[in-house]
Amino acid sequence: MTSPPGSPQDAPEADDASRVLRRVFGYGSFREGQREIIDHVVAGGDALVLMPTGGGKSLCYQVPALVRKGTGVVVSPLIALMQDQVDALTALGVRAGFLNSTQEHEERREVEAAFLAGELDLLYVAPERLRTSSTLGLLDRGVIALFAIDEAHCVAQWGHDFRPDYLALSALHERWPDVPRIALTATATEATHAEIATRLNLGGARHFVASFDRPNIQYRIAQKREPRRQLLQLLRTEHPGDAGIVYCLSRASVEKTAAFLAENGVQALPYHAGLDARTRAAHQSRFLREDGLVMVATIAFGMGIDKPDVRFVAHLDLPKSIEGYYQETGRAGRDGLPSTAWMVYGLQDVVQQRRMIDASEGDAAHRRRLSSHLDAMLALCETVECRRVHLLAYFGQESGACGNCDTCLTPPETWDGTIAAQKLLSAVLRLRRERGQSFGAGHVIDILLGRETDKVVQHGHASLTVFGVGTELNESEWRAVVRQLLAQGLLSVEGDHGTLALTDASAEVLARRRQVPLRRDPERTARAGSAARGSGARRPSPAADLPEEAVPVFERLRAWRAVVAKERGLPAYVVFHDATLRQIAADSPSSLAELGQVSGVGESKLAKYGEQILDVLASGDSPVQDALEF
């Protein structure tokens, strides 16, 4: 590959990776684990990397691609985001391009010509393009530094992001045996990890597994009451003006939630597969480029979103698996600043998910897998232990109590729910055995509470021996009992109407051979709210905890960045991350040399923006616009 003077691809040396990191990306040192991965790939080794979102996975293939001879070919499933990824690299002075179905013929020809001429450092391609003879022939004619397979969990056949085209990527090694491959993902259990290695033919690769812990994220799960109003309260009290993502299970819920937030003064946009492609692309572009927008979405949105300042991820419905939950919450706080992962969850979530599993396509083994995923998710919701400990244990990693999740900040109580469980299970049993009938949770609870509703009277259920035996609990508490019995496998739901049924394990409780410990949700008190807010996880603004004199400087820098981003048609974070602006404001460099030492200021950005930043710093209390005349 022909490289410009001073390119890191001139005769690789031991410290090339560090020089590239400083010169191109503006970082003085690698994060934990990055250097070992990069050195291995630079030396020509294959690698399988499991690293959390925000852990710096991209550098693990971008730096080797800049050090090794040739072009790094990045396989990415994210056609809609390739332009943003290339824009971000171009802003760093990296020669990058992409090939996908959105391009006109002439644009594709220009990218192909640049690749063949050795004028690209990185080339992004969609996996389906690697199944076409034209793309394979093109790559045969160029010099390839490495193959990076991003979002490698897409190869897992029963995963929530499965992409059939990923299965063909195992052939890369057969066609280009001397080109190193690096597969990367943030979402993998031990089983998924093994499946990735097998399906991508990475049996001989070196495996790198970083800690999945994201200590800057505060995990909180609340009882679902009025989910939209609960969400609005969260945004108003803890995240006013912050960018965030709200996940809903259905398209209809997405639309209603986005409209509700907008009606209540929150800038919110919907995103789901039912919207036309142009609308989805426009909403995604606005979310990436504008500050403070909330995206309300189904799981169709989010993979590969590099926006670093997402301050919260909220779930209004129960995710189907811990893998999905972890990946979705991981989109918060990629910049390392404190962020919130918040979810509301209730009985109807469990009933709905069970019903969806029963109606799902696939064989019995597939439904068992879905059930096991749901069981693990329910266990996370119902745990009385540290959420982070439970979450990391699912991925095979150990940790101590974090002190930064709801169960650490406001520990829930446990109580002996054996008698309550016996009463509820007995009601279900008597309805079926004595009357041959089955009902949903609401009707069974009405019977236990002794309510003579129209349905109770109509069916003569006031004569049942269990009628009125459960008045020691209120309706909300009984619904929590049902929810937890479902979570523990002591109760099941059947049919389209979600009627309750006993399981094999129910008999042990009814026969008094099994105790049933239950979780008592903390009361909604001022203490709980203040504990969460006082934990340090919530930040009112990115300027918080800066020295007082640096706050107005930081705000002037953000105003300058907004103008630059708008003029160049880039997301603001592509110009500079908040973390970089914070350090500039705090350090107040007075020369280009000093500015060049700030983390995140590489050579290209120093040349483009250095003088402008120094002007902003020198502008003092003068109007911001005076510093923006460039």
CATH number at residue 577: 1.10.150.80
Query: Running DSSP on this structure, what letter comes out for residue 12?
Result: -
Give the C-alpha separation, 449 to 92, whole Å.
Answer: 66
Residue 196 is assigned to a structural domain of this protein: yes
Of the candidates 123, 127, 125, the one whose C-alpha atom is nearest the C-alpha of residue 142 is 123
Residues 167 and 194 in one domain: yes
Residue 263 is assigned to a structural domain of this protein: yes
Residue 351 is assigned to a structural domain of this protein: yes
Using the predicted structure, report yes or no on whether residue 2 has a pLDDT greater than 60: no
Of the candidates 192, 523, 496, the one whose C-alpha atom is nearest the C-alpha of residue 351 is 496
pLDDT bucket at 538, cuts 50 / 70 / 90: very low
Q: What is the CATH number of the domain that holds 481?
A: 1.10.10.10
Residue 532 has a pLDDT of 44
Give the C-alpha separation, 224 to 202, whole Å.
Answer: 43
Residues 505 and 560 in one domain: no
Per the CB < 8 A criterion, the answer to whether 17 and 150 are in contact is no
Q: How far is CA 597 from the centre of its chain?
A: 31
Provide the mean pLDDT of the chain.
87
Residue 159 has a pLDDT of 64
Residues 300 and 386 in one domain: yes
> Distance of CA 437 to CAs 6, 491, 497, Å?
80, 16, 13
Question: Residue 176 burial (CB < 10 Å; 0-12/13-18/19+)?
Answer: middle
Give the C-alpha separation, 320 to 315, whole Å.
Answer: 11
Residues 252 and 384 in one domain: yes
Residues 190 and 280 in one domain: no
Per the CB < 8 A criterion, the answer to whether 402 and 386 are in contact is yes
- Average pLDDT of span 356-362: 80
pLDDT bucket at 364, cuts 50 / 70 / 90: confident
Using the predicted structure, report yes or no on whether residue 479 has a pLDDT greater than 80: yes
Residue 621 has a pLDDT of 52
Strand-pair partners of 381: none
Residue 541 is assigned to a structural domain of this protein: no
Residue positions counted in the chain: 630
Residues 389 and 436 in one domain: no
Rg of the Cα trace of the chain?
27
More confident residue, 535 or 293: 293
Residues 114 and 96 in one domain: yes
Of the candidates 217, 236, 243, 240, the one whose C-alpha atom is nearest the C-alpha of residue 310 is 243
Residue 542 is assigned to a structural domain of this protein: no
Residue 528 is assigned to a structural domain of this protein: no
Please count the helices (runs of H) and the strands (runs of E) in the chain.
27, 17
Residues 243 and 222 in one domain: yes
Give the C-alpha separation, 462 to 446, whole Å.
Answer: 10
Q: Residue 307 CB: number of other CB atoms within 10 A?
A: 20
Give the C-alpha separation, 540 to 538, whole Å.
Answer: 7
Residue 595 is assigned to a structural domain of this protein: yes
Q: For residue 622, what are the contacts with CB-CB under 8 A and spacing of at least 6? A: none
Residues 117 and 201 in one domain: yes
- Among 502, 520, 538, the domain-final residue is 520
Residues 408 and 433 in one domain: no
| CA pseudo-torsion sign 255, 260, 263, 267 | negative
- Average pLDDT of span 121-150: 94
Residue 529 has a pLDDT of 42
Q: What is the DSSP annotation of 224-291?
A: -SSHHHHHHHHHHHH-TT-EEEEE-SSHHHHHHHHHHHHHTT--EEEE-TTS-HHHHHHHHHHHHHST
More confident residue, 335 or 13: 335
- Among 520, 535, 557, the domain-final residue is 520
For residue range 396-435, list pLDDT tens digits in order: 888 899 999 999 999 988 899 999 999 999 999 999 887 8
Its domain, for residue 273, covers 217-412
Of the candidates 460, 381, 469, 372, the one whose C-alpha atom is nearest the C-alpha of residue 419 is 469
Q: What is the CATH number of the domain that holds 83?
A: 3.40.50.300
Residue 6 is assigned to a structural domain of this protein: no
Total domains, the chain: 4
- Among 412, 440, 468, the domain-final residue is 412
pLDDT bucket at 365, cuts 50 / 70 / 90: confident
